[in-house]
């Protein structure tokens, strides 16, 4: 498959057309941003880690019946994916309260949430990814009720599978963000599943093993990403 022109460059990935209409080429970058792009930096080989971790997670999810955009790994930084049209809604699942949930509502950091919380936010750097509900999503024509119902159901299933998978690696899945796309008239899981998009706490030491190390300058950023890759590849 030939890589053709670049279609899009986001904060963490570039997307290219290929000579096959329904397949895109995704290249993962080392660039790291936080707080709506206000904090910028790079994490050495983050692109490699996120590409390989995403590939593994997408394969596991596929085996468990969750259709997703992953097709195959090309090399350390590149994968082929199905050419989806991304729904401009980020779906966040929270098992444990931390991050913006604590900042926004003042709940105690680290408490188990019962029930598990689902949030939607508008995928817009310009407006700072604001929280939204199902009425905004429908009124702004971002997704239909039927599409949103699929996204919600899949998000909770993904949570169950990822929680179990990361638990085997001595990691607690605290929260994560996923995105969906339209493909052949269906809604399928897309984007990435990585330490950039999941909060992972070491079960033994409670250490932050994800992008929070970069967001909050906790140190050992590169080594932590490498450790996640090592654990994930042991699966
Ligand atoms: P938050 O607590 O900052 O809202 O983050 C919730 C989860 O979503 C966390 O796992 C990190 C992930 N996330 C992204 O993947 N992209 C983003 O732009 C933000 C703000 C969070
Ligand atoms: N990726 C987001 C940004 O660049 C935020 C984050 O992950 O914290 O702002």
Q: How is the chain split into domains, by residue range?
A: 3-82, 85-219
Among the listed residues 43, 60, 15, the one whose alpha carbon sits nearest the alpha carbon of residue 196: 43
State the CB neighbour count (10 A cutoff) for residue 58. 22
Question: Ligand 1 atom 20: the closest Cα is on which residue?
Answer: 35
pLDDT tens for residues 129-142?
999 999 999 999 99
- Structure confidence at residue 90 (pLDDT): 98
In ligand 1, the atom with minimum distance to the C-alpha of 100 is 2
pLDDT at 68: 98
Which residue's C-alpha comes closest to atom 8 of ligand 2? 34
The whole-angstrom separation of Cα 114 and Cα 94 is 10
Residue 21 Cα to ligand 2 middle (Å): 30
Using CB distances shorter than 6 Å, the residues near ligand 1 are 92, 99-101, 129, 175-177, 197-199
Long-range CB contacts for residues 143-150, cutoff 8 Å, separation at least 24: 143/87, 143/89, 143/187, 147/87, 147/180, 147/182, 147/187, 148/89, 150/180, 150/187
Question: Residues in the chain with pLDDT < 50?
Answer: none
Ligand 2 atom with the smallest distance to the CA of 211 is 7
CATH code of the domain occupying 85-219: 3.30.470.20
Nearest ligand, CA 97? 1
- The confidence score (pLDDT) of residue 122 equals 98
Q: Are strands 112-122 and 89-96 parallel, antiparallel or unpaired?
A: antiparallel
What CATH number labels 3-82?
3.30.200.20
**Site residues for ligand 2, CB cut-off 6 Å:** 11, 33-37, 211, 215
Other C-beta atoms lying within 10 Å of the C-beta of residue 100: 15
What pLDDT is stored for residue 66 in this prediction?
98
Strands 198-202, 131-132: pairing is unpaired
Q: What is the pLDDT of residue 37?
A: 87
């Amino acid at each position: 498959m030939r890589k053709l022109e670049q279609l899009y460059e986001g904060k963490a990935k570039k997307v290219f057309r290929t000579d096959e209409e329904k397949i895109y080429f995704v290249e993962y970058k080392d660039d790291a941003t936080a707080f709506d792009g206000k904090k910028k930096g790079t994490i050495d080989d983050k692109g490699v880690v996120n590409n390989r971790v995403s590939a593994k997670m997408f394969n596991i999810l596929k085996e468990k019946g969750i259709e997703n955009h992953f097709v195959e790994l090309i090399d350390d930084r590149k994968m082929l994916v199905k050419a989806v049209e991304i729904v401009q809604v980020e779906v966040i699942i929270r098992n444990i309260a931390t991050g913006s949930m604590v900042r926004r509502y003042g709940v105690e950091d680290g408490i188990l949430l019962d029930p598990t919380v689902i949030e939607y936010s508008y995928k817009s750097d310009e407006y700072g990814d604001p929280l939204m509900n199902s009425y905004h999503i429908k009124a702004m024509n971002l997704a239909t009720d039927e599409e949103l119902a699929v996204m919600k159901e899949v998000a909770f299933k993904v949570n169950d599978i990822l929680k179990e998978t990361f638990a085997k690696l001595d990691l607690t899945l605290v929260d994560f963000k996923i995105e969906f796309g339209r493909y052949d008239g269906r809604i399928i899981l897309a984007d990435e599943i990585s330490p950039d998009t999941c909060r992972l706490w070491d079960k033994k030491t409670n250490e932050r093993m994800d992008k929070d190390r970069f967001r909050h300058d906790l140190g050992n950023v590169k080594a932590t990403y490498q450790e996640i890759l090592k654990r994930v590849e042991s699966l």
